[in-house]
Amino acid sequence: MKGQKVVLAYSGGLDTSVILKWLEDKYGCEVVTFTADVGQGEELEPARKKAIDYGVKEIYIEDLREEFVRDYVFPMFRANAIYEGEYLLGTSIARPLIAKRLVEIAAETGAVAVAHGATGKGNDQVRFELGAYALNPHIQVIAPWREWDLTSREKLLAYAEAAGIPVDFAKKGKKSPYSMDANLLHISYEGGILEDPWAEPEEDMYRWSVSPEKAPDEPTYIQISYEKGDPVAVNGERMSPATLLAELNRVGGENGIGRTDIVENRYVGMKSRGAYETPGGTIMLKAHRAIESITLDREAAHLKDELMPRYASMIYNGYWFSPERKMMQAAIDASQATVNGTVRLKLYKGNVIVVGRDSTTDNLFNESIATFEDDAGAYDQRDAAGFIKLNALRMRIAALKKS
């Protein structure tokens, strides 16, 4: 690989700064850096400056926020995907987009390999690499954490100092006690005291939301409008996908919404405890199910609910580009043609409460049939007798055999 190019998923932090130099030392390659803005809320120009200072000739810094929400987050929310009943898949859903751009940049620059900073203990190595191989079966993937002996922060710092890599951002105990990942859908926290599943997260850990106890004493009402299963407007104002999610994050965070504390099962086999803030996603999940409740046929809705755990596991485990996910997505998307309308929500001290839903074009709720008042013959209650007897027949036969 000497003299050839490698595309590195680069943040400019300690780990990827060391990886950049390590790749040059280990493989004698030319490193192309790629930094994705998926809404992590950080200034990315310092990453560009560091890459320039290290002598990197080809630097990619790209704003992928709209693509991220439009082509990854929204399709996932059409499925109401949630992993193990709690996790809204914030980290998982960003990885296929990053993997896609790594492979595309490799093709654009003539690189023979891509590299990432995910550790050998986590899910991200699987997600990045499954995505890369699905899109380019010939690509080589370099995962330094599975190759080098820099197994502690101290060793990373020593390597950095020996190599002349600036370490001001990492010295003198300034390291965050948590491993954090942020994008426009969520921010996650792992490590530190969270490694003890009995320990309560510290309040000053959270970045996006106030605690429910400190949220306003008056509820906030919002309306979300949907077209074909995707949110398109908040309170009547049409917004781009990324802008809409950012707005829901803001109003949700102000009302203490979206905090979760989870022990999840990683794909590599171990259990992991993490805390998450997903205010906008929490609101979207509740609202989407509400609009589906009046626009989806019963059996279509139930089938979606049966498919969802499998779909969520595919995303969690890194199979976004797999044939089975694409096939399932086609079915999910077909179900969303009639998911149009508006949901009214009350946000109050960590709670998302549906208080209204309406669809002018696709509403399957028929008040004249559902009413407890006189339905003017819209529904003949006598029809229920035969319906019940036919459905009870097999159970009656079984009961007769026992008598």
Contact 6, 30 (CB under 8 A): yes
Catalytic residues, by residue number, are 15, 95, 124, 179
Number of neighbours of residue 295 by Cβ within 10 angstroms = 25
The pLDDT, as a whole number, for residue 167 is 67
Task: Report how far residue 264's alpha carbon sits from residue 341's, in angstroms, rounded to the nearest whole number.
Answer: 34
Q: Give the tens place of pLDDT for each residue, 90-110.
A: 999 999 999 999 999 999 999
Residue with tokens 């693509």: 67
What residue ranges of the chain have pLDDT lower than 70? 167-176
Work out the burial of residue 387: count CB atoms within 10 Å of its CB; fewer than 13 is exposed, 13-18 middle, 19 or more buried: exposed
Complete domains list, the chain, with CATH: 5-73+89-175 (3.40.50.620), 180-296+339-358 (3.90.1260.10), 369-402 (no CATH)
Q: Which pLDDT does position 13 carry in this prediction? A: 87
For residue 338 the two structure tokens come to 């009639």
Give the model's pLDDT for residue 371: 87
The token pair at 155 is: 């060793």
What integer pLDDT is reported at residue 168 of this predicted model?
58
Between CA 153 and CA 164 the distance in angstroms is 16
